[in-house]
Amino acid sequence: MTEHLLKILVVGDGNVGKTSFVRRYVNGQFNSDYKMTVGVDFSVKVLHWSDKEKVRLQLWDIAGQERFISMTRIYYKGALGCVVMFDVTSSASFLSCRRWKQDLDNKAMLPNGDAIPCILLANKCDLTERVVSAESIGRFSEANGFITWMEISVKDNKNVGEAMRRLVEGIFLI
């Protein structure tokens, strides 16, 4: 049995659902209490990828608050993939994804100097107060070099596991 260890970053503005996403993916839980992420949490999930391969995912949930951005280089070190998340009811959180992607492209390179694979996730698609259209997400994703994008709802458990699977596939270049 081969085991791959993958450090995955989860970035995006505060309140977009990063902590809930990691908790849902790792523990299968959703909790509606709002807790501001301070610094970084990391959680582990083991995927049985094939008969011969296991993938140990280390998920690093990075605080979205501007005041922490100077610390990102330390957290990016050794990362092989990234989730960039925004909230479809917040155009500001969508606009911030450009800055997050630029920051990653500048500071989170693979050992060969390439940018790390990033997936763009549009969270809270269960809400009706949506302000960011699928069309603008698709355009943005393509223009900014994301491997792909997906609409998710951590609350309704929609596309959470699928999104992580796509990212892992992107890392293995499947």
DSSP-based three-state secondary structure for 153: strand
Does 7 bind ligand GDP (CB under 6 A)? Our answer is no
We find the least distance from the C-beta atom of residue 173 to ligand GDP, in angstroms, to be 29
Distance CA 169, CA 112 (A): 19
Q: Where are the beta strands (DSSP E) in 12-167?
A: 40-48, 53-62, 81-87, 118-123, 148-151
Residues 6+ apart with CB under 8 A from 111: none
Query: How many other CB atoms sit within 10 Å of the CB of residue 86?
Result: 27
Does 159 bind ligand GDP (CB under 6 A)? Our answer is no
Nearer to ligand GDP, 54 or 130 (CB): 130
Does 166 bind ligand GDP (CB under 6 A)? Our answer is no
What one-letter code names the amino acid at 33?
D
Distance CA 43, CA 36 (A): 17
Does 96 bind ligand GDP (CB under 6 A)? Our answer is no
Stretch of 30-38, 68-76, 105-113, 128-136 lying at the interface with ligand GDP (CB under 6 A): 30-38
Q: From the list 155, 165, 169, 172, which residue makes contact with ligand GDP (rule: CB under 6 A)? A: 155
Stretch of 72-80, 108-116, 124-132, 138-146 lying at the interface with ligand GDP (CB under 6 A): 124-132
Query: How many other CB atoms sit within 10 Å of the CB of residue 122?
Result: 25
74's tokens: 């330390």
Does 90 bind ligand GDP (CB under 6 A)? Our answer is no
Over the window 102 to 121, marking each residue x when it contacts ligand GDP by CB under 6 A and - when it does not, the resulting string is: --------------------
**Residues making contact with ligand GDP (CB under 6 A):** 14-20, 32, 34-35, 37, 64, 123-124, 126-127, 153-155
